[in-house]
Chains A and B, each alone.
Chain A
Amino acid sequence: MSAEIAAPRSQRIDPKYVRGPKSRSSFEMLAWLFMRLSGVVLVVLIFGHLIANLLTGTGINALSFGFVAGKWASPIWQFWDLALLWLAMLHGTNGVRTIINDYAEKHATRAWLKGVLYVSTIFIIVLGSLVIFTFDPCVVNSPLPQC
């Protein structure tokens, strides 16, 4: 029972377990930190979103174009929804990125899945931001009296 046990990190790693050059980028740490920070903010933003849209007044029955126009008449709700869009999309995209990295074993599969993910994310964030910034209460078929 005198087998020598090397100290950890003494470079005695079987070559088949070596994972390529060590990255000095702090991207993964920042992504980890972002999940925690955005998570806390998202709890507030989403709870507020659910309370305002589903729990007050007549709840879901009140939802309509007029309801959205009424909310976005206020810069506070515009900012709320914009922050919600960006944080939720980035938080969700990073979560799905982690899941792809965990389960897609082939390099090409991982690259493809993440490519589709990133394209969808950019599309949804750009679309959602444009909708909030260019919102027109007098869009086609608007029921609002001032139109």
Chain B
Amino acid sequence: MSKTSSGTLYRGREGMWSWVGHRVTGVVIFLFLLVHVLDTALVRVDASAYDAVIATYKNPLMALGETALVAAILFHAFNGLRLILVDFWKQGTKYQRQLLWGVIGVWVVVFAGFAIRHLSLAFGGH
């Protein structure tokens, strides 16, 4: 990073990295959304074809993918709420860093809960 960036409030710090994370997770979620509408559309074509595609979501490798996807969704959701606070709450810009650490804290707790539940269901061998 260039020396000119030292002393700026935003570049290379929490504000910038949360922005990068928001973009990356947003694109990932959008791409999955396109696929997800297409796979769900199979319910209108053939019930067993739909079940066959859904069965691929149940294998362990895909379960890890789903867990990663939910990790992205949770970050995007909580950081999105932070963004709204930064834009609309009077003290938002002042506390944007603290808010990011709050986002990360909530994210860790909720993600851990989801991952334990989803992975134990997916690997549980029903």
Interface stretch, picked from A19-27, A104-112, A139-147, is A139-147
Chain A, 42-82, contact with B by CB distance < 8 Å: what is the 0/1 string? 11001100100011001111011100110000000000000
Of the residues A58, A85, A141, contact of B49 by C-beta under 8 Å = A141
A39 at the interface (CB under 8 A from B): yes
Q: B37 touching A65 by the CB < 8 A rule?
A: no
- Asked, given contacts A60-B57, A85-B37, A120-B34, whether A92 binds B43 with beta carbons under 8 Å apart, the answer is no
Q: How far is the CB of A32 from chain B (nearest CB, A)?
A: 9
B11 at the interface (CB under 8 A from A): no
B117 at the interface (CB under 8 A from A): yes
Q: B118 touching A127 by the CB < 8 A rule?
A: no
Size category of the binding interface on chain B: 35 or more
- Asked, given contacts A60-B122, A92-B26, whether A50 binds B40 with beta carbons under 8 Å apart, the answer is no
B109 at the interface (CB under 8 A from A): no
A residues in contact with B126, CB < 8 Å? 58, 61
A99 at the interface (CB under 8 A from B): yes
Of the residues A43, A55, A127, contact of B41 by C-beta under 8 Å = A127
Of the residues B43, B63, B81, B87, contact of A131 by C-beta under 8 Å = B43
Distance of A40 Cα from B80 Cα, bound (Å)? 8
B90 at the interface (CB under 8 A from A): no
Distance of A99 Cα from B69 Cα, bound (Å)? 20
Question: Would you list 22 pairs from A and B whose C-beta atoms are within 8 A, ordered by A residue?
Answer: A39-B80, A46-B73, A47-B77, A58-B126, A59-B122, A60-B57, A60-B118, A60-B122, A61-B121, A85-B37, A92-B29, A93-B30, A95-B23, A99-B23, A99-B27, A128-B37, A131-B43, A134-B44, A135-B43, A141-B46, A141-B48, A143-B48
Q: What is A's interface to B at a CB cutoff of 8 Å?
A: 36, 39-40, 42-43, 46-47, 50, 54-55, 58-61, 63-65, 68-69, 85, 88-89, 92-93, 95-96, 99, 120, 124, 127-128, 130-131, 134-136, 139-143
Q: Which 10 residue pairs spanning A and B have beta carbons closest together? A: A59-B121, A92-B30, A65-B47, A141-B48, A61-B126, A141-B47, A39-B80, A128-B37, A142-B47, A131-B44
